[in-house]
Structure formats: C-alpha cells, structure tokens
Amino acid sequence: MVQIGYTMMTEQAGPRDLVDHVVAAERAGFDFSVTSDHYFPWLAEQGHAPYAWSVLGAAAQATSRIPLMTYVTCPTVRYHPAVVAQKAATTQLLAEGRFRLGLGSGENLNEHVVGAGWPAAHVRLEMLEEAVEIIRALFAGGDVSHHGTHYDVENARLWDLPDELPPIGIAVSGERSCELAGRLGDLVIATEPKSELLDAFDRHGGSGKPRVGQLPVCFDTDRDAAVERAHEQFRWFGGGWKVNSELPGPAGFAGATRFVRPEDVADSIPCGSDVETFVEAVRPYAEAGFTEIALVQVGGEHQRPFIDWAEKTLLPALRDAL
C-alpha cells in the first residue's frame, strides 16, 4: 500500500499555523508528514520562512501518531553536521520515535545567508557524504573528533540519544547522488516520478529501502482561482534541480519565471477539485516505485479546506486507486 503524506511547507505559512495544519492532517488520516527547511521562500508571494526545527519540536508535542520528517535539511553550509545530528536526536526524543532525518545537498537560496559561498555541485555532494558520516558517527555514541576535507569536529558527543535512531533519507537527482543514497541512506527522497532514479538507488544498495516522493497540488472549488494561486506561488517548481539549486533569492526566481504562464503551471500541478485529476497526478509516482508520496497543498491560507477535502474525498480515492 502506497502511503500518502502531508507537507508542512515553511515557505507559505507561519510556525503556529504549520503546527495547526499538521495536527489537522493527523486527524484527517494522512499516513506521514514532511517539512521543508528554508531560510527564504522561493518567491516573495509565498511570504514565510520560519525555523523548521522549532516547528518540528512543537509538532512533535502537538501530535501523537503522524511521523515527521525533514524534506530536506542541508547539513553542509548553513548548518554544521554536528549540530544537525544534535537537532535530529533531540527531535526524535520529542517525537518518541516518529522522526526521520531527510538530507540533501541544498540550494543557494537558503545556504548563501552565512556568507560561505556556494560550492560547485560535485563539491556539494562530497560535503554531503562527509556530513552523513559525521552524523552517523555521533549517532553511534561516544566522543567524536573528525578532521576531514570539508569539516572539523572536535571532541563532540550527543548526550541525549534516542534508543531508536532517526533513519536517514538522502535526496537524489542523478547517478552520483543515487550512489550516495544507496550506500549511506536508509531511504531515498526525490521530487520527480523517475523510475531511473530508484533503479540507480537499488543498484547502489538501496533495494528494499523506502522511497519518498513529493507532489504539489492546488485544491480549490474554483479551478481558475487554483490555477492563479499555483502560478503566483509555485511557478518556480518547473525549473528543475539544476536551476533551482543555484539561484540566490526570491528575486532571482521571479526573474527566471517571468515568462511562465498559468497554463504551464496547471500542466504539471493538478488544480481544482476533480479528484480523478489528483489521482492521475499521483499515479506516476506509485508506478515508478515510490512507497510514500507527500502532497503539498499550494497556499498557506488554503490548508484547512484541502485537509477537509482530503479526509472525505482524496485520501479514500487514492487508497482505492493505489
């Protein structure tokens, strides 16, 4: 059975609202939840970027069943991996075993704020690999010192470790990241329904491990309003990883998407309230081999209507179809 998740998107809602939304999602019957970890929204129209880890701590206390997961945290520039390990262990304790640590090589949009520059893609993957090794060493307990190519750790230790360590997911977009995920990850993360990514993950040791995808949707009883909102807030989505990982701020994304039309966005994001349209948008992920699919409802002020509709209509339809 494919599991259907809910996304707390920090770019489009404030911290209290995000927690209220995931509480409602748990009540509605979503199987799991994920949260983005941004310092900036993609576009100014989205309007938010609270600290994801504070939100996760509050969500862990406000919910009792629904799993939590970062989708994804970059442990290389803005955060030192030793600090990510501490945050993840603490969140797992607060969530009583419901937390998974999703990691990725990040975007310039969020990482540039510490003034350390933005490395080339192959260097970012080297940094991610070293960061995962540090996090796993700290998860293993005891004192850790590390002097590597990109990071130094001096006599670090996690004093509060959960009995059940957070599984580590790694985001992929090509062969090199799939090799890294298959070798070092407990699960794989992707935002496109490409079976070739999962095949590569399997070749490198990922066979049998969970695979988590994500899909933006825009529910509204007025389809024209849904298309307009998706275009206003999510027209960046079609840029692809090679573009989206490089642009430094919302103004860059606004400029890069100025010629994207509403109909272009509606071609890739299901809009409106026709449940079959949403089911058919999710189906390629299931057919590609994803075991979990997190939905992102576009628009921070439009979460409750979506969650109510999902409970009554969308989730039953998806479970019947998939």
Mean pLDDT confidence for 131-160: 98
User: Quick one: pLDDT at residue 240?
Assistant: 79
Contacts of 182 (CB under 8 A, 6+ apart): 188, 200, 201, 202, 203, 204, 205, 206
Residue type, 298: V
Residue 208 has pLDDT above 90, yes or no: yes
Mean pLDDT confidence for 248-268: 95
The dihedral formed by the CA atoms of 18, 59, 131 and 106, expressed in degrees to the nearest 10: -10
Residue 241 has pLDDT above 80, yes or no: no
Contacts of 83 (CB under 8 A, 6+ apart): none
User: Quick one: pLDDT at residue 292?
Assistant: 98
Q: What is the overall mean pLDDT for the chain?
A: 97
The dihedral formed by the CA atoms of 49, 54, 56 and 58, expressed in degrees to the nearest 10: -120
Mean pLDDT confidence for 195-206: 97
Mean pLDDT confidence for 54-75: 98
Mean pLDDT confidence for 223-231: 98
User: Quick one: pLDDT at residue 78?
Assistant: 98
Task: Identify the active-site residue in 11, 21, 26, 38.
Answer: 38
Kindly report whether the global pTM for this prediction surpasses the value 0.95. Answer: yes
Active-site residue, 96 included:
no
Task: Identify the active-site residue in 11, 21, 26, 107.
Answer: 107
Strands 152-156 and 144-147: antiparallel
Mean pLDDT confidence for 293-301: 98
Residue 199 has pLDDT above 80, yes or no: yes
Confidence grade of residue 242 (pLDDT, cut at 50, 70, 90): confident
Residue 193 has pLDDT above 90, yes or no: yes
The pLDDT tens digits of the residues spanning 6-59 come to 999 999 999 999 999 999 999 999 999 999 999 999 999 999 999 999 999 999
User: Measured between alpha carbons, how far is 275 from 268 in angstroms, rounded to an integer?
Assistant: 15
Residue 196 has pLDDT above 90, yes or no: yes
CA distances from residue 63 to 57, 66, 71, 80, 264 in whole angstroms, order as listed: 10, 7, 18, 28, 37
User: Quick one: pLDDT at residue 243?
Assistant: 86
User: Quick one: pLDDT at residue 30?
Assistant: 98
Active-site residue, 164 included:
no
Residue 299 has pLDDT above 80, yes or no: yes
HEC sequence for 160-199: CCCCCCCCEEEECCCHHHHHHHHHHCCEEEECCCCHHHHH
The pLDDT tens digits of the residues spanning 71-80 come to 999 999 999 9
Residue type, 140: A
User: Measured between alpha carbons, how far is 76 from 124 in angstroms, rounded to an integer?
Assistant: 8
